[in-house]
Each structure stands twice: as C-alpha cells, then as structure tokens.
Amino acid sequence: MNYQNTPGAPGAPVRSGIPEHGRVPKYYAVKAKLTVMVDELGEGGLLPTERDLAVRYEVSRETVRQALRELLLEGRLRRQGRGTVVAGPKLEQPLSLASYTEGVRRQGRRPGRSLISLDRFPCPEALAPEVGARRGEPVWHMERVLLADDERVGLESTYVSEARAPRLDVEFDPDSSFYAYLHERLGISFGTADERIETVLATPREALLIGTPPALPMLLLHRVSRDTAGRPLERVRTLYRGDRFSFTAHLGEQS
C-alpha cells in the first residue's frame, strides 16, 4: 500500500480520500489543510475565525464551514464559546463486562453520572425475559447522563427487576457504578452479556440531556447481561456521543 500521499499514515484513508478521477472537492481540500493545522495546534488550540480561514485558503465561508462541520462531527474539533478549538482524543470504551466507570478511569479521566430519573413500573412482556421477571412484576428503570471530567458524553438507561435490587432507590448512589453496587452490596457478579451496536441520531430530548446538536451521530449500545449462573440480570441501552467515543475489542480465534 502506498502511504506517500496519506497524512497520518499508516491507518489514514488511502490517498487521503482523493477520488480516482483526481478532482478534489474544495471543502475536502480545505479540510485536509485544517487537519494539518489541528495537529500542529494540539489539544485546546484555538482555530482562526471562519472569515480568516476563508481568506487564507481563498474559498467561500460556506466551504470553510463545511470542512469545519466534518471535523466537528469526527470529534477533531469542538465549540468553545464563540470559537472553535482542537478537541482531545476520543474515549475508548472496551467491549467487555467492565463497566463504564472502569473504562473511563483506565484513560485517566474522572467518570461520573447524573441521575435523570429512577422509576418503578410493571414489567412488559417484551422486557420480562431480559431481566428475569414475569410480566407485571415490578422493574426498575434508571436513566443517567454519563460524564467524563464533568463533560456530558452519553445517556444510559438501565432496567433491572425489583427482586434483584429491592432497595435500589435508597441504597444506591446514582453517581457510582451500578456494577460495583451489585457485586459489593448484593453479591451479584456478571457472567456473560450480549451486545449490539448501531449508529443513530439522538431524539430532541436525548440531545438536550447530552448537550449536543440533534444532527450529531450517536453510537447506540444495547446490552443484555446475565449473572454467573446464567440467569438474566439487566438490560442496558446506552447512547454515546459519536464525536467523543470509540469502541475497542480484543479478538481471538474460536476453538
């Protein structure tokens, strides 16, 4: 593979995304130049204004705006007040039974959660097999905003039967790890889990809670967990900011 014209190689797109016919869209040419500027400025560096960039690269402000928009969506930049600054690296969340808290701490960030609601409701038929409850039995639903160094980065909904956590509303600190609570307070350990990941756009309510534009792509993770005895334990729906998260997994040959 020829990396000669690929900034940031190896690992960058082949030929920097240039079409085979060789005609590069103006916005993409500006984006390539801005990428170099981003690397030179480093995290927290302030970019020139759209007007200054348009003059520098001899293009329209709309062309600059489109290039900036893509870099914002990719998580390379972020808005700060009325300006645009270089964003820090994305958080890497492992696809494992480790909790969000553990994953964030491993990267030197301070994890946190802000409770939105904790409700109890009769279990619907579709949810019953996933949390090990019968239809109509009480189930907890806990919704929390995910934080990393006080930055809102996601939204988490957890469903667990009341029988498994009867005093969740009085014993559990919503800013802490639910996994740690189950293990240390209730003696319940996670055994296996099934996960599914897809890309979505946040609803207006979700975007407001996370503090992002509705058009920002999100990574949606569905998880159904079981304890070490194989009994259903919880169902989790977690929405992660696409510009702040990536997922990692260690793969091995199946026996």
CA dist 153 and 92 (Å) reads: 12
Position 9 pLDDT exceeds 60: no
Mean pLDDT score of the chain, rounded to an integer? Answer: 86
pLDDT in tens, 10-35: 555 555 555 656 677 888 889 889 98
pLDDT in tens, 119-161: 999 999 999 999 999 999 999 999 999 998 888 999 999 999 9
Measured in residues, the chain has a length of 255
pTM: 0.73
CA dist 151 and 46 (Å) reads: 19
Give me the half-sphere count of Cα atoms (radius 13 Å) on the Cβ side of residue 153: 23
Confidence of residue 204 (pLDDT cuts 50, 70, 90): confident
Give me the half-sphere count of Cα atoms (radius 13 Å) on the Cβ side of residue 246: 10
DSSP the chain: ---TT-TT-SSSPGGGG--TT----HHHHHHHHHHHHHHHH-TTPBPPPHHHHHHHHTS-HHHHHHHHHHHHHTTSEEEETTEEEE--PPEEEESSSS-HHHHHHTTT--EEEEEEEEEEEEPPTTTHHHHT--TTSEEEEEEEEEEETTEEEEEEEEEEETTTSTTHHHH--TTS-HHHHHHHHH---EEEEEEEEEEEE--HHHHHHHT--TTSEEEEEEEEEEETTS-EEEEEEEEEETTTEEEE-------
Check: CB of residue 243 under 8 Å from CB of residue 73. yes
Confidence of residue 217 (pLDDT cuts 50, 70, 90): confident
Phi, psi (rounded to 5 degrees) for 59 = -135, 175
pLDDT in tens, 38-48: 989 988 899 99
